[in-house]
Each structure stands twice: as structure tokens, then as C-alpha cells.
Amino acid sequence: MHQIPALGLGTYRLKEQQVIDSVRNGLELGYRHIDTAQIYGNEAEVGQAIAESGVARSELFVTTKIWVDNLGADKLIPSLEESLRKLRLEQVDLTLIHWPSPNDEIQVAEYMAALLEAKAAGLAAHLGVSNFTNAHLQQAMEVTGPDQIATHQVEIHPFLQNRKVVAFAQEHGIHLTAYMPLAYGKVMTDPVIQDIAGRHAANPAQVALAWALQQGFAVIPSSTKRANLESNLGALKLHLSDGDMAAIAGLERGERLANPDFAPRWD
């Protein structure tokens, strides 16, 4: 099992000083898993916050993701080298393919082979995928073997539980990372989650995160507020009952929030 810290700090949509503050606050509070991506346009700021934090590199787990424009065999490694320069790191702990190539213009085999090459060159300690359909994941495993795929990062929250994708990954022993685990804050107003939170003297965000953590997923919520970053850490100590887990399972409604026009045909 690849040791990806269970609770990470997402940086999607955070820019400039906002992302510097979020990462700095997160590191001060004890976060050690930071997730960024080429397309977020904030790798340099994330790198600055890490560099200024004084936290030892060996304590950190940093993830970035290769954007679709860089999936060609000739572009992937140079783009990752550029990401490393921005992050001020010699190696990232994890590099993911952010999305499959739109309309499969570039074959999975081509970019997974390039990713393996990047790992062999020491640019990334681990590799993985994101937003893959089961068919894409199958193709990726054929290139790398399932044991090389450290995680599959997908949208998972109480309103989109992505069960087919989760089941397929778990069947092949592939770890999952849940992004948007709070559904852009929608979990905060759900009556079922509010009720569970009340019974545990917790808040709805902690409940939604604990629900994902108890299934063995890593979670990468983001926040610009230090108090929320601190509060989210409380999910690590929260244990939900089987009844709680079943109640949240009942909230599935196929509510997909990340669905750009170039997305694959979802399972």
C-alpha cells in the first residue's frame, strides 16, 4: 500500500496570496499532504508556501497533475520538470494524469508509459490517475500493472458516490482519493448529515470527511479559512456507526459537480 496521508489539503480554485495563506495555515496546523495541478496555475505559490514553512521535505507528500495539453510522449516529462521548478522540488511524491485525453486523441498507453518513464527518472516517487473511467483505468493497468497505480483520484461525496468506479478500483487493489468531498459545501446544509453531526457533537463537514475516510479513501478538502482547515482535521478522530454510514449511503443522487465538456463518458 502506498502511504498517501489520509487527509490532504486541496488547492483547486485557490490563487496567488489566497493559496499561499491556505497552504501556510495548513502546514502550521499539521497537514502534510498538499494537492495541486498544472492547470490550477498555483504551483509556484504552493512551492513558495512550502519553502517558507520550514517543514522538512521528508515530512511532506506533494501531488501534482499533468494537464491534458501535456499528455503527448514528448510533452509529459518536460511539463513535469517545469512543475518541479515552480514547486521548488526535485521530486513530487505523486504525479497523476489529471484527465484522460479528450476523445482519446492520445492513447492511454502513450501517456502512462511516459509517466512510468518520469517515475524511473526520479521526477515522481509514485504515479496515479484521476477522472478515469473503468475502461481507461483498465488500459492504464495494462501498461503499468495495478501495483504501480498509487491512487485513482475521483469526485466522491455523499451526493455522488461513484460506486461503479470505486468497486472496480477496489477489486484491483487500487487506492482512491476523493476530491470535492464536501460537494462545494453542500454537505453543510443536508438534514441527514446535520442530524448525524448533532449526535456526534461534530459539524457536517467532519461527518462527510469521516464517511469517506472510513471507506479507506484519502480526502483533499480545500478551504481559505484557517478555522475550517483546523476543524476538518477533527474528521480523523470521528467514528461513524454502521447506521450513520448507511444513512449517508442513502444520499446518493448522481450529483456530479466536475463535468467539463471534455470529460469522458462516465461509468
Radius of gyration of the chain (CA): 18
β-pairing, 61-66 vs 33-35, is parallel
40 is catalytic: yes
In angstroms, how far is CA 88 from the centroid of its own chain? 21
C-beta separation of 211 from 158 below 8 A: yes
3-state secondary structure of 156: coil
Pairing of strands 149-155, 176-179: parallel
Contacts of 4 (CB under 8 A, 6+ apart): 33, 61, 94, 126, 150, 151, 175, 177, 218
| Grid cell at residue 110 | 502513450
Task: Say if residue 33 carries a ligand binding annotation.
Answer: no
Q: Which residue carries 490517475 as its cell?
A: 129
Name the strand (E) or helix (H) holding 151: strand 149-155
State the DSSP code for 219. E
For residue 57, CA distances in Å to 29, 89, 96, 211, 222 come to 16, 9, 20, 30, 21
Residue 40 to residue 31: CA distance in whole angstroms: 20
Q: How far apart are CA 206 and CA 188, in angstroms?
A: 10
Residue tagged active-site, from 12, 31, 40, 179: 40
CA angle 170, 250, 131 (to 5 degrees): 40
Binding site residue list for substrate: 98
Binding site residue list: 98
So which residues are the catalytic ones? Answer: 40
